[in-house]
Amino acid sequence: MAFFRSLVKSGALTVLACYGWLRVRLSNKPTLLILTYHRILPADAPERAAEQPGMVTSPQALEDHIRFVRKLGAEPIHLSDWLDRNSQGKTLPRLSVAFTFDDGWQDNYQYAYPTLKAQNAPATIFLVTQMINTGKTFWPEQVLSLLTTQTIPKNDSSFDWLRPHLPLEPAPGANRPLSLLEADEVIARLKSLEDATILEALEQVYASHPEVAPTETSRSILNGSELTEMAQNGLVMYGAHTRHHYRLNRLKDGKILKEEIVDCLQDLNSLGEAAIPVFCYPNGDITGKGENLVSDTYKAACTTKTGWNLTGCNPYDLHRFNLHDGNSHSTRTLLATIGRGLL
């Protein structure tokens, strides 16, 4: 039965891959595929042990993607260039590909940049501006690290905020840290809380349990000198991904909403010419008020909606293909992911 299921799955994948290949090859209107990555980490990187699987791509897969899109006849292009040429009605290649990276991970410099440079592939990194040069990381990574290495004590009030989101049956015997997949499900459930609430709760945990506080030995977010180096020769540009990665639909305070959207561009502009006024919604969460601020401040915005973009598209509703090792480790899975996104 398992063999039959895997045969059906493999067949479906092949059909989707053929569909994706045909759609891309036959598109006759200038088309932009925006590929989205988060972390670029080798298979043996220790950071993978406390990271959501859907966040990670290997450097080899990134290189394969760049080579493959060129084989498909696509031209790697700066997202900003495509948007400008599109709005000015200038000629665009039949098929363009923009490589984008969300969040501003340090591994983008360590593992993606050498590949981008060697392949001469332009890219945009969407930065969380108040995280740069801080040594901090995002709350999902902090929670994953906590859950996969510690047993959450039963009678300790500093973990009360977390307890309702833990699995009911962690394991026979229960007293063990969670697996990465179990912890990943806790992250999904915690998204019902506000980001700032979770960050405050984590600070309280670290205050009463300093032994579980993150150490700064392995910095996870890009710093200023890495940003400057990658921007040399115009290879990497930087867009906005809010100041603190707060999900906009959860922000009740209008002042904070404005800071996260509008002031983020001011932060970004300190990077000079490499900064582009393009916004990327954290988690894809959008609100009407947020959308108005974005369209008043930026020339375009990336969503988490899946699909490609044609000339004349709404620049504030850019569609992308979110890639990770699980859905693009081979040419067939990459094409299937594109095919599925175009159904």
Contacts with Zn ion, residue ranges (CB under 5 A): 102-103, 282
Contact yes or no for 300/320 (Cβ under 8 A): no
Nearest to 39 by CA among 14, 20, 58: 58
Burial 175-191 (b: 16+ CB within 10 A, else e): eebbebebbbebbeebe
Nearest distance from residue 281's CB to Zn ion, in Å? 9
Contacts of 49 (CB under 8 A, 6+ apart): 148, 180
Using alpha carbons only, what angle is made at residue 170 by residues 166 and 172, rounded to the nearest 5 degrees?
160
Nearer to Zn ion, 103 or 195 (CB): 103
Residue 273: how many CB atoms within 10 A of its CB?
9
Nearest distance from residue 109's CB to Zn ion, in Å? 17
Nearer to Zn ion, 103 or 226 (CB): 103
Nearer to Zn ion, 127 or 334 (CB): 127
Per-residue DSSP letter, 176:
S
Nearer to Zn ion, 84 or 194 (CB): 194
Nearest to 257 by CA among 278, 282, 230, 274: 282
Nearest distance from residue 265's CB to Zn ion, in Å? 17
Nearer to Zn ion, 95 or 184 (CB): 184
Nearest distance from residue 82's CB to Zn ion, in Å? 21
Nearer to Zn ion, 102 or 107 (CB): 102
Residue 56: how many CB atoms within 10 A of its CB?
23
Nearest distance from residue 37's CB to Zn ion, in Å? 11
Nearest distance from residue 34's CB to Zn ion, in Å? 15
